[in-house]
Structure 1
Amino acid sequence: MSEDDALTTLRARLVAEAADQGLLDVAYRTLDTPIGRLLIAATPVGLVRVAFECEDNNEVLAELAGQISPRVLEAPRRLDPVAAELDEYFAGTRRDFDVPLDYALSSGFRQTVQRYLPHIGYGQTQTYKQVAEQVGNQGAVRAVGTACATNPLPVVVPCHRVLRSDGTLGGYRGGLAAKGALLTLEGAG
């Protein structure tokens, strides 16, 4: 057995033992997509974080360890359902995500906005102002922008569907090229 095979076997055994003993609070893996490599992470509640390639994976994992639990482990198989849905989305065969979500990294108004975003249909867009009105706070346009900018679940919670009032993209955690690519994939841009 090669050293790489032995390491893979050991890692798989550690993941299985951690899961069996209830010691795995956050599982993560990476996934290659048309918009770059994504780091996806889940708790027993559901998907908790989607991070773009431009985000430092070590910082993302440290954030998860600090805000969720220090028991974070690379456990790709636990995220197979999320990876499958993302693959289907990028292939153009999935319009809505069914995986359970964990909103533990958001609270208050930000979480209210993020929970609303999946109601913006595939291929559709709304402005920050329209989202503010939909969540019952028409004066909170900038706060909606902040909620979108800090969305821990981009792509799955589609903050890319929110645009400026003049129709321009605005900002995006994964960069404007990624936001434009997602809108183009959906036929919205």
Structure 2
Amino acid sequence: MNRVTSTAYDSPVGPILLTFVDDALVRLHVAHDGLDLARAEIAQRLGIVPEPDASVGRGLVAQLDEYFDGARRAFDVSLDWRFVRGFTRAALEATRQIPYGEVASYGEVSMMAGAPRAARAVGTACASTPFSIVVPVHRVVRADGSIGEYGGRPEVKEYLLSLESDAMLAETLLTST
């Protein structure tokens, strides 16, 4: 039987519940509606209440700290894709190809995922990702360049894009002097 654990992380964009099955991340949930609701939702989806255990998520917590400090560009964590199927997975995998500090349109991601006419499906995939932040769906924008939604919280998407843009600018300034 798999071990299901969770830990809370206090981030600049709100409380985050990290849930793992064995050592793989199964859900990163920015819990704007509270950690208790996030815990209940994941328990219902998995059919088991995750046991609190900060040790399992320690590596990801350190990576999140580095990311929010502008020092980490990508995450190195095993992902448990049980909640993701078919084109949704292809779209989410494609978003992982968008470089840190850059954006791509829903249409561009649909082409990267092998379905050029599936821009709306990319939007659905991004909205339903179980791996927010770690799989950078916040880097996907509308064709006109506007940022669009992000779990009903466009200000979070704006914050993440700004964080990455600022880190890139700081790096450019450091290397040019």
TM-score (norm 1): 0.82
User: What is the 5 A alignment of 1:1-189?
Assistant: 25-173=3-151, 175-187=153-165
> Within 1, Cα distance between the matches of 2:134 and 2:48?
24
Distance 1:55 1:148, change over 3 A: farther
> Within 2, Cα distance between the matches of 1:105 and 1:26?
15
Distance 1:174 1:96, change over 3 A: farther
Q: Which runs of 5+ in 2 are unaligned?
A: 169-177
- Percent pairwise identity: 36
Distance 1:58 1:47, change over 3 A: same
Secondary structure of the 1:187 match is helix
Secondary structure of the 1:76 match is coil
Matched residues, number: 167
Does the 8 A contact of 2:110 with 2:116 survive in 1?
yes
> Within 2, Cα distance between the matches of 1:82 and 1:106?
20
> Within 1, Cα distance between the matches of 2:134 and 2:118?
23
Shift of 1:174: 6.2
In the other structure, the counterpart of 2:172 is none
Does the 8 A contact of 2:110 with 2:118 survive in 1?
yes
Distance 1:115 1:55, change over 3 A: farther
> Within 2, Cα distance between the matches of 1:52 and 1:169?
18
Paired amino acid for 2:85? S
> Within 1, Cα distance between the matches of 2:38 and 2:32?
11
Secondary structure of the 1:77 match is coil
Secondary structure of the 1:78 match is coil
Secondary structure of the 1:186 match is helix
Of the two, which has the highest radius of gyration? 1
> Within 1, Cα distance between the matches of 2:106 and 2:134?
18
> Within 2, Cα distance between the matches of 1:121 and 1:39?
25
Does the 8 A contact of 2:16 with 2:35 survive in 1?
no
In the other structure, the counterpart of 1:15 is none
